[in-house]
Amino acid sequence: MADRGEQMSGVPLGFALGAATRKLAKFYARALADGPVTPAQLALLRQLWTEDGQQLRLLSQRAQLDATSATWLVDQLEAGGFLERRRTDADRRIVRVWLTDAGRRLRTTLEPEIARWEEAIAETFAAHHPAEEIATFRAVLATIIAAFPEGDDLWAARSALWDTRLDALKAFVEADTEGATDGDNATDERPDD
């Protein structure tokens, strides 16, 4: 049987990551199937369990969600009684999201389960990869999350990068050409023999 690396060698990296993401999403969906929240809602709640009372805008960024999705999830969780939105007194435009008592109790219920799920994932990785490879994989994932822009912004960022590189190359070539031209106009000043 061919090893997993050979099976994936012709698959574009983005598609492989997408397939892995879908498989893990199914894992979490099954684990939460009988529970009160979905995997996406859980991702948002976990951010509030870390720091309650976050601004909605920052909460969406930290949960790796676009603003529309975050607002929709907050609507659902608010309807479920797990959190509430409050405007700050100082600046009424700023909306903060706070856990309710039910949202805090949900943490007590779900955190042991989340730890069990994470342990199952870690054990599966460890059965196939040494710790160093897993650490490298985590670093690659962190880079994807931190460095890759959202959606179409990836193409805009790549285009801007190439424009910058082309401008630098053009400046280099023009400077080199000017230097060569200046050298051609210089006169040889040799002492008379």
Residue spans of the domains in the chain: they are 12-148, 152-182
Interior angle at CA 36, CA 32 and CA 42, nearest 5: 65
Pick the CATH number of 12-148 from 3.40.35.10, 3.40.50.300, 3.90.1150.10, 1.10.10.10: 1.10.10.10
pLDDT of residue 9 exceeding 50, the answer is: yes
The length of the chain in residues reads 193
- pLDDT of res. 102: 97
Spatial separation of the C-alpha atoms in residues 65 and 150, rounded to whole Å: 10
Classify 18 in phi/psi space as left (phi over 0), alpha (psi -120 to 50) or beta. Answer: alpha
Cβ neighbors of 40 (< 8 A, separation 6 or more) are 65, 69, 73
Least confident stretch, 19-28, 55-64, 148-157: 148-157
Give pTM, 2 decimals: 0.68
Question: Quick one: which of 94, 82, 90, 91 has its CA closest to 58?
Answer: 94
Q: What was the pLDDT predicted at 183? A: 57
Q: How confident is the model at residue 2 (pLDDT cuts 50, 70, 90)?
A: very low
Q: What digits encode the pLDDT tens for the residues 70-128?
A: 999 999 999 999 999 988 777 777 889 999 999 999 999 999 999 999 999 999 999 99
Tens digits of residue pLDDT in 163-183: 888 888 888 888 877 776 665
Closest residue by Cα to residue 75 from 111, 112, 65, 35: 65
Instruction: Round the average pLDDT of the chain to a whole number and report it.
Output: 85
Asked if residues 63 and 47 have their Cβ atoms less than 8 Å apart, the reply is yes
Q: What are phi and psi of 6, to 5 degrees?
A: -65, -40
**Pick from 171, 173, 172, 169: which is nearest to 161 by CA?**
169
